[in-house]
Amino acid sequence: MKLIFSLFGIVCLCEIGYAGTIRVTDTKGRSMDVEVISHIPNTGMTKIKRTDGQVFNVNINLFDAESQKSIVANAPEPQAELEVSVSVGKRRKRQGDSSYMKDQTITATVTVENDSRDIDFTDGNGTLFLIARQTRRYAEDGADYGKVLSKQVFRITTKADEETKYEAKPVVTSYDSDRDSTNVGGWEYYGYLFILEDSNKEIKEVVTSIGNLKKDVEGDSALAKKLLNLSQESIVEKNLEKR
């Protein structure tokens, strides 16, 4: 059985019974099968995909009361469109009278921007890791590993079409700045990792400045979940696996 249905002047032949679709009827009594991609309760704007693959943004008021209930019931939970950036500042000074030992102060600002016009992001958690690298590697083979200098967790709430900034507590570390066989070691800032979870503990965004980790962790929520278990002071490999 097929139905001929016109939406916004486009006519298509819509097969009935596609998996993942629902039957909806507009206020003029015309029916079709669609997949509900999204629905924004505040505005009623609804994105649907017909069985021919065409995608439309329409207001839910286009449909009758029963179809509206079905659309709401089958719509995925609305998701905020987020962009996360981390800015890190580093200051260093001589440690006492030493010409090679340095104290380094690390500051960080996390910015969460919500590009959604209608959807707030509330009750999320952002976890910021500041990672250091052992400078003893310049003098000793096998000493190239890292340390979690700081693990800080922020409660993240960002309203629609706004941005929120979060300031991390400054962290101070020290290290031998000579890059030769005389290096006595220490912890020099290496990079950051920031993981954003929503209120359901699902990973929403992952950003890092650690080059050898970037490709893997930004596309693998399971790996990001695993790294959340790292604790402050953990000794890690360059890929943040525990040593």
Categorize the per-residue pLDDT at 117 as very low, low, confident or very high, splitting at 50, 70 and 90. confident
Are residues 207 and 87 part of one domain? yes
- Model pLDDT for residues 18-27, shown as the tens digit of each residue: 447 899 999 9
* CA atoms within 13 Å, Cβ hemisphere of 212: 6
Are residues 158 and 87 part of one domain? yes
Categorize the per-residue pLDDT at 79 as very low, low, confident or very high, splitting at 50, 70 and 90. confident
Are residues 228 and 149 part of one domain? yes
pLDDT of residue 170: 98
Task: Find the mean pLDDT for residues 75-94.
Answer: 92
Q: Are 156 and 97 in contact (CB under 8 A)?
A: no
Are residues 88 and 68 part of one domain? no
Of residues 4 and 22, the one with the higher pLDDT is: 22
pLDDT of residue 101: 97
Task: Find the mean pLDDT for residues 17-46.
Answer: 84
Tell which phi-psi region holds residue 201, choosing left (phi > 0), alpha (psi between -120 and 50) or beta: left
Name the 3-class secondary structure at 99.
Answer: coil
CA distance 34 to 21: 5
Are residues 66 and 104 part of one domain? no
Are residues 95 and 126 part of one domain? yes
- In terms of C-beta density within 10 A (0-12 exposed, 13-18 middle, 19 or more buried), how is residue 229 classed? exposed
pLDDT of residue 203: 94
pLDDT tops 60 at residue 235: yes
pLDDT tops 50 at residue 4: no
> Is 243 a domain residue?
no
pLDDT of residue 5: 40
Q: Are 61 and 53 in contact (CB under 8 A)?
A: no
> Is 133 a domain residue?
yes
| CA distance to 61, 163, 186, 214, per residue, from 128 (Å) | 43, 18, 21, 15
pLDDT tops 70 at residue 11: no
pLDDT tops 70 at residue 17: no
Are residues 147 and 58 part of one domain? no
Task: Find the mean pLDDT for residues 126-130.
Answer: 98
CATH of residue 143's domain is: 2.60.40.10
pLDDT tops 90 at residue 97: yes
Domain coverage including residue 109: 82-236
Name the 3-class secondary structure at 170.
Answer: coil
CATH of residue 38's domain is: 2.30.30
pLDDT tops 60 at residue 183: yes
- Worst-scoring range by mean pLDDT, 16-25, 65-74, 79-88, 209-218? 16-25
Q: How many domains does the chain have?
A: 2
- Model pLDDT for residues 50-78, shown as the tens digit of each residue: 888 888 889 999 999 999 999 999 988 77
Mean per-residue pLDDT over the chain, rounded: 89
Model's pTM, two decimal places? 0.75
pLDDT of residue 80: 87
Are residues 123 and 34 part of one domain? no
CA distance 227 to 214: 13
Instruction: Find the length of the chain.
Output: 243
